Structure 1
Amino acid sequence: MKMRTLGTGGPSVSAIGLGCMGMSEFYGARDEQESIATIHHALDQGLNFLDTADMYGSGDNEELVGRAIKDRRDEVFLATKFGNVRGEGGEFLGVRGDPDYVRTACDASLKRLGVDVIDLYYQHRVDTNVPIEETVGAMARLVENGKVRFLGLSEAAADTIRKANDTHRITAVQTELSLWSRDAEDEVLPTVRELGIGYVAYSPLGRGFLTGQIRSPDDFPDDDYRRFHPRFTGDNFRKNIALVGEVEDLAKEKGCTTAQLALAWVLAKGEDVVPIPGTKRRKYLDENIAALDVELTDADLQRLDSILPPGAAAGDRYHAQGMATVNR
């Protein structure tokens, strides 16, 4: 397994991670047995970077990951997140970053995961009602208390990242980055590089759209949230599927899958970038790992830029409520 370093002097992790969210929510039916087998297979292949959050499945995903790594903790670089608050029925209640919540959320995650320490602890979304210095200050105390090793932020704006890093060393920033979500290239990527912070790219396959396997909104199960996602509905879907078709053509020429080409593009953004594609099936995990062997020439990269330049994808990357919580 090829490895990459998260930030200047940071921890070494597998060059591709595994996003575990879809194992418990948002992408159709659960299959716990196959999900755990997928995590075990990832570890067998040397993929050590696992990503979860307390909101995925309202805690169920952390428990699932905890069961999967129970006897293999020393093989895992474990990342989880706090900040998105959900009610008993799974309803979204808002974002919290106050110190009391930081402490209680961490303790709850440690219990669900069944571990003594979290390797990388992210603030999932920035609480605009709490100064970032207070939130990160509380996170820093978790490091002092031995509950967390490294700190991260998710969907934070450049100014927020700077203030946070002034309070305590931030090891990684996670935002969405793919061929059809390139906002991070404007300010976030330059900022983390200036500060020596690692960058983790979530949804590098555009929530599955860039795999080339989605042909119609009807391909999604009834309980798949993508049925209502702005980029997967109406005219936006038709415009976006046409763009993916052009990416497919290049993938065929390269002798790789569309998903591998999309991942190779993210990997080519720099050695400081680590994508964490999500899957709950072993066969797709193997396909994703093989993207590490896809080499893109300058001509390939220029062609992809011409197909999907920044802003090319039709529709916002979240619904209005979700967009209100990103890049804050």
Structure 2
Amino acid sequence: MANHRKKTSISLPSLNKRQWIRIGAVAAALALVATGGIITRSFYASDGRSVAQQVTAYSATDPLTVSRGSARDGVRGMDGDTSYVTVKLDGQSRTVLGTDFTTVKSVLEAGNITLGPNDTVDPALDAEVDESTVITIETADSVLETSEEPIAFNTVRKETSSLPEGTEQVESEGEEGVMETTSLVTRAGDTVISSNVFASYVKKAPVDKVILVGTGSASSGSSSGSSASIGTTVPAGEMQQWAHDYLLANGYTEADFSATVYIINHESGWRVNATNASSGAYGLPQALPGSKMASAGADWATNYQTQLKWFWGYCNSRYGSVQGAYNFWVANHWY
């Protein structure tokens, strides 16, 4: 993702025509009151209301903004060909990004939003859309439910000369993070028929357990100064183990793996199908739009290996290295 969440200061006189149009479009969208055009969409709903595959997420440390800078090559900020439409589902808003929006139906398809036979939508599915459009969906047989699930923390070992060689000291205890998810759930009695995740974010990033490993002489004493190094991270789970082994087999270092884990923990909590409800950023690295990752493989939407390969390539291209991206993230809380 290029320049994830750049806070760019722009004076009003410097805005170009496209930016003024977008500012007006957003203002108009907020003022819209959905009326008329409500229709039944049973012909658009999939059989059995199949579960949508995308999950949404964004970093807990960053405000929900949609960057416009073309300097990011359209990865974390929108490029010149990317447009956006707001979808409001039972009062909850989400921004859907795309490059070929024509009708309401095309927006819902891009956002992987499945409609039920008794749901209503305004405007109609065949209505034309632009960036001022707000699509309002009211569900008849489903309810929005919010749940939380843990994000595993990692154990990081850092060398320090402040401790005598051969000794170890726990600098900080690990703490699980929290992923909050809002799902549109349809039930028949107590049985869940479908569950479409509409929004999810890293409510609280995990805190690493840090163990200091002494490298100093006996005269160094037992003070607990932290090492300046990024440390060596113990993989947690299948995805992290693959990432660790892949990096070391391809000329990267333990520090590169530690940098990878830190960024992904904060960006998506290691959810492969994470999608930012506000901007549409997608996947483990929160690429914006997610289709940018197609350069790493056609299965970019579901394959964590493809997403990680794209992530490492992006970090190398933009920051010179994965650790360079990490240093930038720590300083700015985006990359």
Q: TM-score, length-normalised on structure 2?
A: 0.28
Structure ID, larger Rg: 2
The structure carrying a bigger strand percent of its residues is 2
TM-score normalised according to structure 1 size: 0.29
Structure ranking higher in helix proportion: 1
